[in-house]
């Protein structure tokens, strides 16, 4: 096991993926439960799918909102919120479920947007609204009448630039980088552990299984994150 000594000044950056929310009941993208009706989640999370069938894609996101609304943060989420009260932590997530925020994490760098955010597919209209369902599928933009769409990043779309910039900077400057519950196959998020490694950080991974980033990790801690992460934090907190 990698011997690591955390002090109150140790700069930690964390990248989380769907696996961190698995124990809360949110299905991962590439594991079991990644299907909705006969569709893979990754087939519907595209601008092309929305252009072809906006109702279908809107229904898929309504389904995901409903599913997440019934989920609570688990011990992995609360551990990361606790960690940020003890150390300078930058929490970067690919998840759109809002469970880090619900666990008390603030200033979360949400690379892929937010399930409860809504924006216009044409103009700059944007809102954050948890009060769903909406009467029409998909609802029209109150400003220009075009389709509203979820404020999430779809395949082929650019990530929010400031969020990405801040994530990149935190990865490059941290002392310890934790990769939690992500298959680390989706770019550019998958680069962040390597940016951290290149900057000299210790790289630790928490996953059920080895991933494409494992060869670069100082240690991969196998097991469910809601068990392994609290145990690691309990053993290492300053």
List residues binding ligand OAD (CB under 6 A): 17-19, 22-23, 28-31, 42, 45, 94, 112, 153, 155, 181-183, 186, 206-209, 211, 224-225
Measured from the CB atom, is 173 or 218 closer to ligand OAD?
218
- Residue of 77, 100, 112, 226 marked catalytic: 112
**Contact criterion met (CB below 8 Å) for 101 and 134:** no
To the nearest whole angstrom, how small is the minimum distance from the Cβ of residue 143 to ligand OAD?
26
Give the nearer residue to ligand OAD in terms of CB position, either 63 or 140.
63
Q: How far is the CB of 168 from ligand OAD (least distance, A)?
A: 17
> Is 84 or 159 the residue whose CB approaches ligand OAD more closely?
159
100 is catalytic: no
For 19, residues 6+ apart whose C-beta sits below 8 A from its C-beta are 28, 180, 181, 182, 207, 208, 225
Beta-carbon contacts of 53 under 8 Å, excluding residues fewer than 6 positions away, are none
Q: Which is nearer to ligand OAD, 81 or 180 (CB)?
A: 180
Nearest approach, Cβ of 40 to ligand OAD (angstroms)? Answer: 9
Closest residue to ligand OAD, judged by C-beta, is 19
Considering only CA atoms, which of 118, 114, 110 is closest in space to residue 162? 110
Q: Give the Cα separation of 197 and 190 in Å (integer).
A: 12
Which residue, 8 or 156, is less far from ligand OAD as judged by CB? 156
> What's the closest the beta carbon of residue 27 comes to ligand OAD, in angstroms?
8
CB of 64 to ligand OAD, least distance (A): 10
Residues known to be catalytic: 112
């Amino acid at each position: 096991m990698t011997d690591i000594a955390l002090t109150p000044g140790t700069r930690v950056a964390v990248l989380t993926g769907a696996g961190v929310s698995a124990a809360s009941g949110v299905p991962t993208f590439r594991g079991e439960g990644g299907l909705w009706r006969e569709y893979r989640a990754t087939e519907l999370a595209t601008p092309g799918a929305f252009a072809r069938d906006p109702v279908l894609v809107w229904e898929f996101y309504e389904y995901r909102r409903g599913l997440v609304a019934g989920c609570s943060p688990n011990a992995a989420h609360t551990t990361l919120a606790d960690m940020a009260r003890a150390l300078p932590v930058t929490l970067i997530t690919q998840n759109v479920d809002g469970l880090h925020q619900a666990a008390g994490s603030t200033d979360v760098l949400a690379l892929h947007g937010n399930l409860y955010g809504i924006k216009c597919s044409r103009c700059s209209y944007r809102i954050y609204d948890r009060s769903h369902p909406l009467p029409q599928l998909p609802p029209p933009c109150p400003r220009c009448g075009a389709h509203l769409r979820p404020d999430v990043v779809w395949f082929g779309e650019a990530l929010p630039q400031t969020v990405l910039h801040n994530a990149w900077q935190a990865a490059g400057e941290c002392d310890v980088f934790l990769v939690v519950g992500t298959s680390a196959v989706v770019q550019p998020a998958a680069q962040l552990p390597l940016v951290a490694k290149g900057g000299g950080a210790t790289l630790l991974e928490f996953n059920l299984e080895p991933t494409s980033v494992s060869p670069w990790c100082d240690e991969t801690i196998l097991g469910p994150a809601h068990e392994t992460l609290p145990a690691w934090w309990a053993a290492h907190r300053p």
